[in-house]
């Protein structure tokens, strides 16, 4: 294609000749234009040609902002990504495979209505699993917030801080208490090595195979054991003290001498008063059986004998001496 120049000194005939040659030889006859191109000017025909060429030998790429780029013959489409973000593999024939690696690192954030993997889904702060359970393996789960839920099952539950509350039961160190009353109710059997009252004056425990009640109260200490045969054993050097109906310094103490054998004291099956060596004028006639007193029971013995004519004793009458 020759360069067409019209000098200022050229004639109109020269201009006409050069223009016609430009149209006929340089641009070509529009009648010879391919029927697949409908444009009637050079610029539109070029754009239409590019469109036809890319539709058969190229393609157009477009991003989310509708920005487009034509990829035609000789052009190269490159897809880049780090090894932990994206993987792009070019293979025959004319194949580009874009995927994610087994381990994906995201430096900012992932935003989606639901993120699913296997049976587990993460949606709006909620983690669910269609299998019904989520396992963290042997990893520790730490939170500075509150864990809310139904039943919590574990081999051990360890909390930080000095005070913990489960429902209305408060745990502080080794102290349990109820937050809504002054009593803890245990609906099942409760077993412990020992039980103590609030100040520790009374202890319930086991010693030598016997259940023991032990008190360390000054002036009122007790140690007693209840055997499996329902006998109550009072430990050595212990007494039973009765206050009586008046709270004062006067008390009745029940004690025993140090046994040298196996002794049994039986309280009879009737109502009455126990007589001691200190009782005065306590024995009445109704308390003695007929013929209960003989000569051996009299401190000073006096006898009256009745004799027959032969001097043989017929009757002896015993009486207390003066």
What is the per-residue DSSP string for 77-129?
------TTT-EEEEETTTEEEEE--SS---SS----S-EEETTEEEETTEEEE
Is 137 within the bounds of a domain? no
Residues sharing a CB contact under 8 Å with residue 21, sequence separation 6 or more, in sequence order: 4
Is 236 within the bounds of a domain? yes
Is 246 within the bounds of a domain? yes
Is 149 within the bounds of a domain? no
What's the whole-model pTM score? Answer: 0.38
Check whether 188 has a pLDDT greater than 90.
Answer: yes
**Based on the structure, what is the number of domains in the chain?**
3
Compute the distance between CA of residue 99 and CA of residue 79 in angstroms, rounded to an integer: 11
Band (76; pLDDT cuts 50, 70, 90): confident
From 153, 154, 180, 185, select the one nearest 167 (Cα to Cα).
Answer: 180
- pLDDT at residue 35, rounded to an integer: 67
Check whether 312 has a pLDDT greater than 80.
Answer: yes
Range with lowest mean pLDDT among 28-32, 168-172, 222-226, 270-274: 222-226
Is 174 within the bounds of a domain? no
Compute the distance between CA of residue 219 and CA of residue 234 in angstroms, rounded to an integer: 16
Q: What is the pLDDT of residues 210-260, one digit of tens each?
A: 777 787 777 655 666 666 555 777 777 778 888 888 888 898 988 899 999
Is 21 within the bounds of a domain? yes
Instruction: Find the radius of gyration of the CA atoms of the chain.
Output: 59
Band (264; pLDDT cuts 50, 70, 90): very high
Q: What is the pLDDT of residues 54-65, one digit of tens each?
A: 666 667 788 889
Domain that holds residue 215: 193-256
- pLDDT at residue 269, rounded to an integer: 92
Is 284 within the bounds of a domain? no
State the average pLDDT over residues 177-204: 88
Q: What is the pLDDT of residues 28-37, one digit of tens each?
A: 677 777 666 7
Is 44 within the bounds of a domain? yes
- pLDDT at residue 200, rounded to an integer: 84
């Amino acid at each position: 294609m020759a360069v067409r120049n019209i000098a200022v000194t050229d004639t109109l005939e020269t201009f006409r000749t050069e223009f016609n040659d430009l149209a006929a030889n340089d641009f070509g006859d529009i009648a010879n234009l391919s029927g697949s191109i409908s444009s009637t000017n050079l610029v539109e025909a070029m754009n239409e040609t590019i469109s036809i060429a890319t539709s058969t030998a190229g393609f157009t790429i477009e991003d989310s902002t509708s920005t487009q780029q034509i990829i035609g013959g000789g052009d190269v489409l490159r897809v880049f990504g780090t090894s932990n973000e994206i993987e792009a593999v070019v293979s025959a024939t004319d194949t580009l495979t874009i995927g994610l690696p087994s381990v994906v690192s995201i430096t900012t954030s992932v935003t989606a209505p639901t993120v699913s993997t296997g049976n587990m889904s993460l949606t709006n702060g909620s983690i669910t699993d269609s299998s019904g359970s989520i396992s963290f393996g042997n990893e520790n789960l730490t939170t500075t917030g509150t864990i809310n839920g139904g039943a919590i099952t574990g081999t051990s539950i360890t909390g930080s801080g000095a005070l913990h509350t489960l429902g209305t039961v408060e745990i502080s160190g080794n102290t349990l208490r109820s937050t809504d009353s002054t009593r803890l109710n245990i609906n099942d059997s409760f077993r412990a090595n020992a039980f103590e009252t609030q100040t520790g004056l009374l202890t319930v425990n086991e010693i030598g195979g016997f259940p023991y009640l032990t008190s360390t109260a000054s002036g009122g200490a007790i140690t007693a054991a209840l055997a499996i045969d329902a006998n109550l054993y009072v430990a050595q050097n212990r007494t039973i003290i009765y206050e009586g109906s008046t709270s004062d310094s006067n008390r009745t103490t029940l004690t025993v001498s140090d046994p040298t054998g196996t002794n049994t004291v039986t309280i009879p099956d009737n109502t009455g008063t126990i007589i001691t060596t200190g009782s005065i004028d306590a024995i009445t006639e109704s308390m003695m059986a007929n013929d209960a007193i003989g000569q051996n029971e009299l401190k000073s013995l006096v006898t009256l004998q009745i004799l027959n004519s032969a001097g043989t004793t017929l009757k002896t009458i015993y009486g207390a001496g003066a």
